[in-house]
Each structure stands twice: as structure tokens, then as C-alpha cells.
């Protein structure tokens, strides 16, 4: 099956695109280094990891899984490209219309273009396919070349996120590079033709735009475009990411205002009000816009979490599933599962949970994160740690988003295979938060 997706273009175009992209990136890196932007020494290694992750993911889906989401997105986008290149623009736009339920009928008459691998009402998947079309077109319908192009473009969003972190903590250039670029699961699952590649890059653009437009108040159109573009990606691919970002975003903005208040008593009184306001806004949005979230609405998520947990009891899932115990589809029932869900999303599978090679790599990564987390918890006094958490708005945002997202994924994901992919947005933020906490409490580590 894999052979049908790989052709001569993969062998010819892939090296060519790598040379062109890396040549342009190398020139750009040198121009930035001449401007004394020392963090650009990580630009090329980070890009290499991104491209390598895209190629690796292609090979895994082609020859290890023998199919899957990445292949389905590529095949569907290739079908659109075939229609476009045929010159039948009316058919192309008819197929591109998500409201059109007659996609299979349009393709059925003398179809030589290919196949749409998703149901016509799967809007999230179809939007992902539609924004993949330009990459497949430029990649000459080569799956590896298309993946290389996508990974290179999506890299820009991650790099922008990196620059936001080091602008706030310039002494953590190297640790942030490790957290954002060199975590194997992140650059592997976040680089190929998958929803996660688009949403991870969109998170970077969102934070970059929010930071410069709202926090630094640089009213430049490019920052506003970055925010709006990222929000569109979230809404049409994974709406729950936007709702996971909102509480931290509001707190970041409010806390940044509070820092300018000289009266510490007044600032301390405002903080609880700020937290309640942020939660209130999110609750209002969830209750009033839940119909636009579909399966990601609050009621559906709670029901899905319970069904997922009960479904895992079945034996056919084997050792690749996990069980966090029974709970009711209510707010109180879900809150009780916060510790178990966080542990699952951030630190499992453990080494003794491993059943295959992919799980082994994930388990080794998790053990490093767990060890680093425990090191900070045991080395820093609890009161000092709490004080550090409220010392910088970006730290609050980063840790809040990481934990909220990890909890959501740990609660609703069915097995370790899906967990490894779905959790990648929270991993860079969690590790970046740990590095910030370590930096803020460096004196305590030295004393001990």
C-alpha cells in the first residue's frame, strides 16, 4: 500500500526542496546573527529537527502504520489538486464547499481525480485538507516534498513563540530552545500533514500577536493578522484549543496591568477578581457558543470523557489503553480526576507501560519531564514556589495553558497512541514553565 503513495518526485523533489529551504534559512540566520541576535544560533538546528520530523512521520505512516490520518489528508488534498490542474474550476469550488453534501456524487461520474478520505460532514478534517492543498500543489503531489514544505512554513510560528519567551527571559535562550524545538514527540507529531502541525504553529502565531499587539501595545497590523489567522485555524480545526488559551490570555493581559499598580494591597485585592473574571468570561463563551463547538462543547466533552473511560474497559484495546477510574459527567466529577488526568497527559506511559517502540520513546521522554518536575518540587519551598508562579505574567499564562490542556487531553483521550500526538501543544509550555521556575529559584538550588 505504501508504494502507491511514493513516486519518483519524492526522490527528486525532496532533496531539492531541502537544499533550497535550508539555503534560504542559512542566509536569513546569518543576517540576524550580524544584528547581534545570538539566539539565531539555534535557528538551523531547530529547522533541521522540524524537517526531519516531517520526513520521519511520513515514513512511519507509510511503512510502519501502512496508512492513517497523515496519508488520508494527503490523498484528499491530492484529489483537489488533480481537479484544479484539470481546469475544471467549477467542480473544484463545488468540492471545496463544506456545506455541499454531494461530494461523492460530484466525483462519481468518470472519476479519475482520486478520493476524498473523509465524510463530507467532517468539517474539521475538510478544512485541514483545504489548507493542505497549496503544499501538495507546490510539492508536485509528492507526499514527502509536501510535508517538507508544510513543516518549514509551520516552523515560523514556533520560532515566533520562541522569540516571545526569550524577550521576557533573555537568560534562558538555550533552555527554551530545548523546550520548543528539540523534544522528540513535539517535532515528530507536530511537523507532518496533520491537524497538530497547523494548530501548534497557530498557537505560536497567536501568542506572538497577542504579546506584541496587546501586551507591548505595538499597534501593527501584522500582529493583529497573526491573532486573527490563528483564531481561524483554531475554530475550523480544533476549537477547544482556543478555549484552552482564553483563560491564560485574559489573566496575562490583566496581570500585566496589575504590575503597574504601585499599591501592593490594591494589587492583591484585584488578583482574585481577575481570576473570577477570566473564569466567568470562559464560562459565558462556553455556554453561549457551545453549539459552534460541536463535539468539543462542554456537555459533549464531559459525556465523551465518560464514554471513553467506560470503553477502555473492553479487552480488545489491550495494553495500549489507560483507565483513570469511573466518574460522573458533571463538573464535580471531572474536577476529582484532575490529578489522574494531569499525570497521564504529562508523565505516562511510564517505562513499565511500554508495549512497542513508539511507546518506549514517549516513556523515555516522560521520565525526563517527571524527574525535572520532582527536582523542582523537592528543591524549592512550597511558599517560595507559589510566590514564583505569580512573579511573571508569561509564566502564569504558560503554566496555566499547559496544565489546563494536559488535563483536557488526559481526561478525554482513549489510548497512549492518541495521547502522544494530542498532548504536544502543552509539552513546550510545561517545560518552558519548569525552566522559568528553575531560573527564578536558582539561588535556592545553590544553597541546598
Task: Dump pLDDT digits (tens) for 62-109.
Answer: 888 877 889 999 998 998 898 888 887 877 887 777 666 566 656 665
Q: Which of 403, 301, 277 is nearest to 347 (CA)?
A: 403
Side-chain half-sphere exposure of 427, counting CA atoms within 13 A: 34
Task: Write 115-118 long-range contacts (CB < 8 A, 24+).
Answer: 115/75, 115/76, 115/79, 116/76, 116/79, 117/71, 117/72, 117/73, 117/75, 117/76, 118/72, 118/76
Predicted local distance difference test score (pLDDT) of residue 267? 56
d(CA 352, CA 80): 45
Q: How far is CA 170 from CA 115, 163, 294, 394, 400, in A?
A: 49, 9, 41, 13, 21
Mean pLDDT of the chain: 81
Contact 163, 208 (CB under 8 A): yes
Stretch among 211-220, 231-240, 324-333 having the lowest mean pLDDT: 324-333
Could you give phi then psi for residue 321, rounded to 5 degrees? Answer: -110, 170
Q: How far is CA 287 from CA 279, 292, 302, in A?
A: 12, 11, 14
Q: Is the pLDDT of residue 204 over 80?
A: yes
- pTM score of the predicted model: 0.88
Stretch among 136-140, 250-254, 263-267, 332-336 having the lowest mean pLDDT: 263-267
Provide the 3-class DSSP secondary structure of residue 349: coil
Predicted local distance difference test score (pLDDT) of residue 351? 82
How much is the average pLDDT of 410-423? 78
Strand partners, 321: 415
Contact 136, 4 (CB under 8 A): no
Greatest extent of the chain over all pairs of C-alpha atoms, in Å: 76
pLDDT: is 299 or 160 the higher one? 160
d(CA 372, CA 53): 25
d(CA 417, CA 185): 11
Q: In the chain, pLDDT over 90 holds for what percent of residues?
A: 35
Grid coordinates belonging to 336? 476529582
CA-based Rg of the chain, rounded to a whole angstrom? 23
How much is the average pLDDT of 388-413? 83
Q: How far is CA 179 from CA 86, 158, 289, 421, in A?
A: 45, 11, 34, 16
264 pLDDT tier (thresholds 50, 70, 90): low
d(CA 206, CA 245): 9
Enumerate the H helices of 218-330 as residue ranges.
Answer: 221-237, 239-258, 264-288, 298-311
Contact 106, 48 (CB under 8 A): no
Enumerate residues 6+ apart whose C-beta is below 8 A from 190.
Answer: 53, 154, 196, 197, 200, 424
Amino acid at each position: 500500500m505504501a508504494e502507491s503513495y511514493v513516486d519518483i518526485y519524492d526522490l527528486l523533489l525532496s532533496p531539492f526542496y531541502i537544499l533550497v529551504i535550508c539555503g534560504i534559512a542559512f542566509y536569513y540566520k546569518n543576517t540576524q546573527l550580524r544584528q547581534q541576535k545570538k539566539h539565531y544560533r539555534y535557528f538551523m538546528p531547530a529547522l533541521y529537527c522540524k524537517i526531519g520530523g516531517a520526513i520521519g512521520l511520513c515514513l512511519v505512516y507509510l511503512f510502519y502504520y501502512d496508512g492513517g490520518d497523515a496519508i488520508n489528508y494527503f490523498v484528499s488534498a491530492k484529489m483537489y489538486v488533480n481537479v484544479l490542474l484539470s481546469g475544471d474550476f467549477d467542480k473544484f469550488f463545488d468540492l471545496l464547499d463544506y456545506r455541499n453534501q454531494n461530494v461523492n456524487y460530484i466525483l462519481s461520474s468518470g472519476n479519475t481525480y482520486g478520493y476524498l478520505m473523509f465524510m463530507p460532514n467532517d468539517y474539521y478534517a475538510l478544512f485541514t485538507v483545504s489548507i493542505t492543498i497549496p503544499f501538495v500543489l507546490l510539492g508536485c503531489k509528492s507526499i514527502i516534498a509536501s510535508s517538507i514544505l508544510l513543516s518549514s512554513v509551520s516552523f515560523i510560528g514556533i520560532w515566533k513563540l520562541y522569540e516571545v519567551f526569550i524577550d521576557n527571559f533573555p537568560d534562558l535562550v538555550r533552555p527554551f530552545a530545548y523546550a520548543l524545538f528539540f523534544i522528540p514527540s513535539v517535532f515528530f507529531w507536530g511537523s507532518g500533514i496533520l491537524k497538530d502541525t497547523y494548530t501548534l504553529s497557530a498557537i505560536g502565531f497567536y501568542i506572538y500577536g497577542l504579546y506584541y499587539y496587546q501586551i507591548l501595545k505595538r499597534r501593527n497590523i501584522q500582529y493583529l493578522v497573526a491573532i486573527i489567522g490563528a483564531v481561524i485555524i483554531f475554530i475550523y480545526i480544533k476549537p477547544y484549543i482556543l478555549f484552552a488559551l482564553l483563560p491564560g490570555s485574559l489573566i496575562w493581559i490583566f496581570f500585566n496591568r496589575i504590575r503597574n499598580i504601585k499599591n501592593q494591597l490594591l494589587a492583591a485585592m484585584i488578583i482574585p477578581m481577575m481570576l473570577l473574571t477570566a473564569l466567568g468570561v470562559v464560562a459565558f463563551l462556553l455556554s453561549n457558543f457551545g453549539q459552534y463547538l460541536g463535539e468539543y462543547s462542554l456537555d459533549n466533552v464531559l459525556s465523551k470523557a465518560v464514554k471513553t473511560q467506560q470503553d477502555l474497559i473492553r479487552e480488545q484495546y489491550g495494553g495500549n489503553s489507560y483507565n483513570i477510574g469511573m466518574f460522573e459527567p458533571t463538573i464535580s466529577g471531572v474536577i476529582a480526576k484532575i490529578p489522574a488526568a494531569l499525570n497521564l497527559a504529562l508523565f505516562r506511559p511510564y517505562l513499565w507501560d511500554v508495549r512497542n517502540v513508539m511507546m518506549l520513546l514517549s516513556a523515555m521522554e516522560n521520565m525526563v519531564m517527571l524527574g525535572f518536575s520532582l527536582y523542582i518540587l523537592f528543591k524549592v519551598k512550597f511558599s517560595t514556589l507559589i510566590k514564583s508562579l505569580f512573579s511573571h505574567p508569561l509564566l502564569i499564562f504558560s503554566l496555566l495553558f499547559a496544565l489546563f490542556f494536559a488535563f483536557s487531553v488526559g481526561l478525554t483521550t482513549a489510548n497512549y497512541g492518541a495521547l502522544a500526538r494530542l498532548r504536544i501543544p502543552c509539552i513546550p509550555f510545561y517545560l518552558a514553565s519548569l525552566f522559568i521556575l528553575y531560573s527564578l529559584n536558582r539561588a535556592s538550588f545553590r544553597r541546598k
